Amino acid sequence: MRNAGIRNHILRALLVGMLAITSTPAFAESSPPDSLRSDPVLARLVADSLAARPEIAEGEALVRAETARAPQARAFPDPILTVGIQNDGFSSIELGKMGTSWVSIMASQTFPWPGKRGLRSEIADAGAAQSKRGLERIRLSTEADVERTYLGLLLARDRLVLLDRLMNVWEKSAAAARAVYESGRGSQADVLRSQLELGRLKQRRLALAAEENALVQGLNRLRRHPLDERIETRSHLADLGVPAPIAEQTAVSDAMARSPELAASRLGLAAAERSVTLANRSYYPDLTVTAGVMPRGGPFPPMWLVSVGGPIPIFAGSRQNRAVDEAEARTAAGRANVEAVEQLIQLRVKERSTALAALIQTIRVYKDGLLVQSEATASSTLAQYEVGKIGFASVLEANAGYLADQDAYLQSVAQAQRVLIAARELSMEPVAAAGGVTMPAAAFGGTPRVGASADSANAERSSM
């Protein structure tokens, strides 16, 4: 009878915390959003960042600078005005006295060979267009940076909620173990273990709180707000649901059409091809026309001069020929670069499609059965403890496992959203490994969850 009384004493101390964990859906909120992008807080953060980020202002300035180069390439060379005097002897000015003394006023204008100005202008226009593609990349990456950071903030705050639930259980278990120990029926090891695990959870909470603060500061930096300005969030990862899979062919076509890297590569190839034509025209000289008058003063009539001149390509073997070779080599490199970018785009789309498909399956496993089974296991363990079939540690381990499954579910949802963000960003970076680090069940004295490696458990201890 006394053992049953002790067991019931522990049960009453833990019942509120256990039932709160096992019977309440994680992070239930009203009117959950369909996707991360429907979150009004995120939409405001993205708009703020696009309007204020200095990298975008820098990119816009570079576009203006490159655009200003095209008119320069089309312009004729500046004319040259020459004023001089020719004089007989050094003792006096003989202007008007000697027929070979005069003042000269001459103007020269260089006319590029037909087609050269147009080619130079097209090359400059391609450079300006490339800078615009660079600006597009900055904007896409800015949106993605805000979305990823905001996603990390939601994950950190949801994990804090889980950790607080876990701490609540351990606080109640510590109080219950202490009460039983003081009654003379419990073990001091249970008291020490409860206190030890509670201390570890407090350490993890401090790390998660620091991560939350860093993410808030990162978001504020992206929108040029005070770094410590509070950002309120109302969404939770559990509300996002199961994303739709990626349609590969559509995604590839969209990426080919919108990729700033591919567009820049194609523009670079077009500029290189124009450079080949321009290099071939370098054999033809730019002509310089010079005209002038030479007043001689006195009884001498003025003289005049008109001349046309241009360079003779006698060193074409080491200059013009090499310029053509260089342009052709750059064109070949440009073609290879376009092909490489196209292949990389296809690879990234395939990687994201494969990763998202696996994550969708994982999320469905959690939503359709695993979380329900984990909750049922925790409830069943609690019922078995009530009738004395299992020990105190089994109850704690079962509930730790349920919390670990909830954490892994959140990690899977977050990773799926990261894949979708990368798809919208048209990222050229490789897809991160699917899955996430979970809150270890070993926090309740059990073993790591099935499928979680020792490395992930160790990593979690350092990250939480």
What are the pLDDT digits (tens) for 50-88?
A: 999 999 999 999 999 999 998 999 999 999 999 999 999
pLDDT single digits (tens) 105-145: 999 999 999 999 999 999 999 999 999 999 999 999 999 99
* pLDDT (0 to 100) of residue 167: 79
* pLDDT (0 to 100) of residue 458: 39
Q: Which domain holds residue 281?
A: 2-463
pLDDT single digits (tens) 182-192: 776 666 666 67
| Mean pLDDT across 405-426 | 93
Residue 389 has pLDDT above 90, yes or no: no
CB contact set of 329 (below 8 Å; sequence gap of 6+)? none
Task: Supply 385's token pair.
Answer: 């403890």
Q: Percentage of the chain with pLDDT > 70?
A: 80
pLDDT single digits (tens) 324-349: 999 999 999 999 999 999 999 999 99
pLDDT single digits (tens) 400-412: 788 888 889 999 9
Residue 295 has pLDDT above 60, yes or no: yes
Residue 1 has pLDDT above 70, yes or no: no
CA–CA separation, 288 and 346 (whole Å): 52
* pLDDT (0 to 100) of residue 380: 81
Q: How many domains does the chain have?
A: 1
* Mean pLDDT computed over every residue of the chain: 83
Q: DSSP secondary structure string, 13-34? A: HHHHHHHHHHHS-TT--SS--S
CATH number for 210 = 1.20.1600.10
* pLDDT (0 to 100) of residue 454: 34
CA–CA separation, 243 and 254 (whole Å): 19
Closest CA to 26 of 364, 383, 367: 367
pLDDT single digits (tens) 142-194: 999 999 999 999 999 999 998 888 777 777 767 766 776 677 666 666 667 76
